[in-house]
């Protein structure tokens, strides 16, 4: 059962990166869209994510629930040492979710829209930035369970080059995911070209930020290169990700939007696999101390049984409905609604 729970945890995190990430990315794209095109872009975006954004964000909650039920020690350690970035993440989530809905449901269109827009755009940037910072900190080895002073315990645990680089990388990936996703949502040929162009730019940005992550890993002595290249699975994942990237560039103008989406999703999944597999089962890397492992920091047997069953039963109910949701709103769009 523990493997089932761990698989679900991994899937929830990956799906949140992919779906929630594309969702954040849409806001990042909005940030980089010229005023000339902004209102059409907003409309396209609204049609693209309106019906599904709440469902996309459920993956985060699933991941958190799995953590606090199944791996309570990990959950409480991270809550203590990453308190500050978590609070910023939460504020970002509040701001973004509400601004997105408020701007659509405000019955009067006036300059309040400007306020909603800027809140939406900024929180779409800050939230994934801090999500990435948190993810980076979990691996960076800067969490110090024995720290005595405030700065070491609560600030440098997340404020370091590596974490920040991962944060930027996450933002770029979100933008990349979203722009590839939006290619398929474009209303006309001109938009189509715009989104392709965006996707290319975002991809270059993502590659640069990726390089930055490696650089920062060197500076902070995070054995990232070792994890990824010193491990057969990690290495193959990276090679596959690179291959899919090449394929993506050759196909980007082809109009095969589903293929593009699959490729970009595959690519991000491989990156996450490469990073997470190498130090499995360790989940949190702690400075000079006992890393928190998914095997040793586990809840008792009976809880894992119950949690695993709840997840399995839940999937049977959720997955068909979720696919039908995505499918319906895709199909209706093609039919020109």
302 makes contact, choosing from another protein, ligand HEM, none, with CB < 5 to 8 Å by partner type, with another protein
How far is Cα 236 from Cα 274, in angstroms, rounded to an integer?
A: 8
The count of C-alpha atoms lying within 13 angstroms of the C-alpha of 150, restricted to the half-sphere facing its C-beta, is 1
Q: How far is the CB of 74 from ligand HEM (least distance, A)?
A: 17
Number of residues forming the site for ligand HEM (CB under 6 A)? 3
Find out whether 177 and 272 touch, Cβ atoms under 8 Å.
no
How far is Cα 206 from Cα 174, in angstroms, rounded to an integer?
A: 9
70 makes contact, choosing from ligand HEM, another protein, none, with CB < 5 to 8 Å by partner type, with another protein
> In b/e form, how buried is each residue of 136-158, taking b as 16+ CB within 10 angstroms?
bbbbbbbbbbebeeeebbbbbbb
| Tokens representing residue 251 in the block | 């196909």
Q: 52 — phi, psi (to 5°)?
A: -115, -5
Q: How far is the CB of 93 from ligand HEM (least distance, A)?
A: 10
Q: Which among 95, 117, 107 is positioned nearest to 46, based on CA atoms?
A: 117
The count of C-alpha atoms lying within 13 angstroms of the C-alpha of 190, restricted to the half-sphere facing its C-beta, is 4
Smaller CB distance to ligand HEM: residue 90 or 204?
90
Tell me the residue length of the chain: 337
Among the listed ranges 20-28, 54-62, 123-131, 217-225, the one in contact with ligand HEM (CB under 6 A) is 54-62
100 makes contact, choosing from another protein, ligand HEM, none, with CB < 5 to 8 Å by partner type, with another protein
Residue number closest to ligand HEM, CB atom: 61
Contacting residues toward another protein, per CB under 8 A: 50-52, 54-55, 57-58, 60-62, 64-66, 68-70, 72-73, 75-80, 83, 86-87, 89-91, 93-94, 97-98, 100-102, 104-108, 150, 153-154, 299-300, 302-303, 306-307, 310-311, 313-314, 317-318, 321-322, 325, 328-329, 332, 337
Smaller CB distance to another protein: residue 69 or 207?
69
Smaller CB distance to ligand HEM: residue 57 or 261?
57
Smaller CB distance to another protein: residue 69 or 247?
69
Peptide bond into 281 cis (omega under 30): yes
Secondary structure of residue 107 in the 3-state scheme: coil
Q: How far is the CB of 61 from ligand HEM (least distance, A)?
A: 5
How far is Cα 134 from Cα 293, in angstroms, rounded to an integer?
A: 17
Q: How far is the CB of 256 from ligand HEM (least distance, A)?
A: 33
Under rule CB under 6 A, which residues in 60-99 are in contact with ligand HEM?
61
Q: Which among 123, 137, 136 is positioned nearest to 80, based on CA atoms?
A: 137
**110 burial level (CB within 10 Å; 0-12, 13-18, 19+):** exposed
187 binds ligand HEM (CB under 6 A): no
Site for ligand HEM, rule CB under 6 A: 54, 58, 61
């Amino acid at each position: 059962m523990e493997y089932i729970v761990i698989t679900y945890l991994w899937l929830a995190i990956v799906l949140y990166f992919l779906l929630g990430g594309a969702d954040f990315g849409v806001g990042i794209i909005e940030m980089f869209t010229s005023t000339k095109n902004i209102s059409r872009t907003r409309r396209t975006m609204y049609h693209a994510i309106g019906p599904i954004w709440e469902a996309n964000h459920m993956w985060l909650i699933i991941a958190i629930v799995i953590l606090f039920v199944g791996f309570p020690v990990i959950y409480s350690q991270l809550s203590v040492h990453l308190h500050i970035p978590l609070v910023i993440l939460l504020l970002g989530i509040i701001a973004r979710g509400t601004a997105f809905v408020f701007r659509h449901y405000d019955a009067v269109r006036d300059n309040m829209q400007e306020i909603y827009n800027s809140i939406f755009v900024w929180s779409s940037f800050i939230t994934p930035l801090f999500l990435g910072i948190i993810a980076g900190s979990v691996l960076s080895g800067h969490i110090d369970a024995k720290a005595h002073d405030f700065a070491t315990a609560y600030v440098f645990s997340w404020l370091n080059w590596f974490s920040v680089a991962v944060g930027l990388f996450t933002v770029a990936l979100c933008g990349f995911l979203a722009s590839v996703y939006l290619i398929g949502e474009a209303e006309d040929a001109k938009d189509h070209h715009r989104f392709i162009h965006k996707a290319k730019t975002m991809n270059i940005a993502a590659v640069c930020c990726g390089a930055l992550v490696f650089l920062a890993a060197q500076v902070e002595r995070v054995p990232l290169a070792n994890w990824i290249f010193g491990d057969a699975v990690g290495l193959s994942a990276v090679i596959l990700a690179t291959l899919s990237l090449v394929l993506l560039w050759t196909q980007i103008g082809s109009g095969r939007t589903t293929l593009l989406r699959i490729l970009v999703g595959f690519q991000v999944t491989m990156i996450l696999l490469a990073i997470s597999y190498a130090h499995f089962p360790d989940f949190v890397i702690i400075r000079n101390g006992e890393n928190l492992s998914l095997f040793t920091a586990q809840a008792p047997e009976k809880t894992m049984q119950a949690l695993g069953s709840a997840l399995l039963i839940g999937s049977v109910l959720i997955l068909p409905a979720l696919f039908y949701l995505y499918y319906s709103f895709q199909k209706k769009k093609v039919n020109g609604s």
